[in-house]
């Protein structure tokens, strides 16, 4: 006994529905945990970028106070170099935030491609398996899946760029502090010599 195209379509739709039901049943705990970890990662990165902004900005503002406190006679060039390090640190924070924006924007685009992919797969199942519409919809679903994967890969690249700028901002802060401390110590040593 052969099945009609409508029976075949229903059978394939049932198989597909059962498959995704099992995937969701087994994958949902992992997906939920993944979502929670991603929320935590976003929160931690936000706090880290905020901290670097405060460190570099606060240090920039504190330069005159530190010089007055230590009563150090430091040359203008040394003060400017210290300030430039903190300004560069602030610039790197801004660039890290831009990279974070593109990271999340590309992830959002990838999610939308996943939505389109599922739409195309469901739309394909509304047609007989041999129909050209079925093949067209499945090809569109595959294309959407590939585009989503590309967006995720681009998001990962932006994430690495953002991490690089984060590290550079921290390095600029440390360099500014080290240079400032060094020139203050040298100025104090020069002032204490007879």
Task: Confirm whether 194 is domain-assigned.
Answer: no
pLDDT for the residue 86: 95
Task: Confirm whether 87 is domain-assigned.
Answer: yes
Task: Confirm whether 56 is domain-assigned.
Answer: yes
* CB-based contacts of 114-117 (< 8 A; 24+ apart in sequence): 114/144, 114/145, 114/148, 116/140, 116/141, 116/144, 117/141, 117/142, 117/144, 117/145, 117/148
pLDDT for the residue 71: 81
First to last CA, the chain: 111
Q: Are the CB atoms for 154 and 106 separated by under 8 Å?
A: yes
How many Å apart are CA 78 and CA 115, to the nearest integer? 56
pLDDT for the residue 51: 93
Report residues of the chain scoring pLDDT below 70.
1
Counting residues of the chain whose pLDDT is more than 70, the rounded percentage is 99
Task: Confirm whether 193 is domain-assigned.
Answer: no
Task: Confirm whether 175 is domain-assigned.
Answer: yes
Only one residue has tokens 């047609």, namely 127
Q: What's the pTM?
A: 0.78
Instruction: Calculate the alpha carbon distances from 58 to 14, 64, 96 in Å.
Output: 62, 11, 18
Q: Which residues contact 137 (CB under 8 A, 6 or more apart)?
A: 120, 121, 123, 124, 127
Largest CA distance in the chain: 111
**How many domains does the chain contain in total?**
1
For Cα atoms 190, 88, 77, give the angle at the middle one, nearest 5 degrees: 30
pLDDT for the residue 1: 61
Q: Which residues contact 124 (CB under 8 A, 6 or more apart)?
A: 133, 134, 136, 137, 138, 141
Task: Confirm whether 50 is domain-assigned.
Answer: yes
By residue range, what is the domain housing residue 148?
Answer: 5-187
* Residues 71-97 pLDDT 10s: 878 888 988 999 999 999 999 999 999
């Amino acid at each position: 006994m052969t099945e009609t195209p409508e029976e075949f379509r229903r059978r394939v739709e049932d198989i597909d529905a059962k498959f995704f039901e099992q995937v969701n049943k087994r994958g949902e705990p992992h997906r939920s945990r993944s979502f929670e970890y991603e929320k935590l990662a976003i929160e931690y990165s936000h706090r880290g970028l905020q901290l670097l902004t405060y460190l570099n900005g606060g240090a920039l503002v504190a330069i005159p106070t530190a010089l007055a406190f230590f009563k150090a006679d430091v040359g203008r060039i040394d003060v400017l170099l210290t300030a430039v390090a903190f300004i560069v640190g602030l610039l790197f924070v801004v660039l890290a935030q831009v990279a974070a924006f593109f990271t999340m924007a590309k992830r959002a685009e990838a999610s939308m491609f996943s939505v389109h992919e599922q739409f195309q797969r469901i739309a394909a199942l509304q047609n007989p398996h041999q129909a050209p519409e079925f093949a067209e919809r499945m090809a569109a679903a595959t294309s959407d899946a590939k585009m989503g994967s590309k967006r995720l890969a681009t998001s990962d690249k932006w994430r690495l760029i953002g991490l690089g700028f984060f590290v550079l901002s921290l390095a600029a802060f440390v360099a500014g502090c080290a240079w400032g401390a060094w020139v203050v110590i040298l100025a104090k040593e020069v002032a204490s010599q007879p």
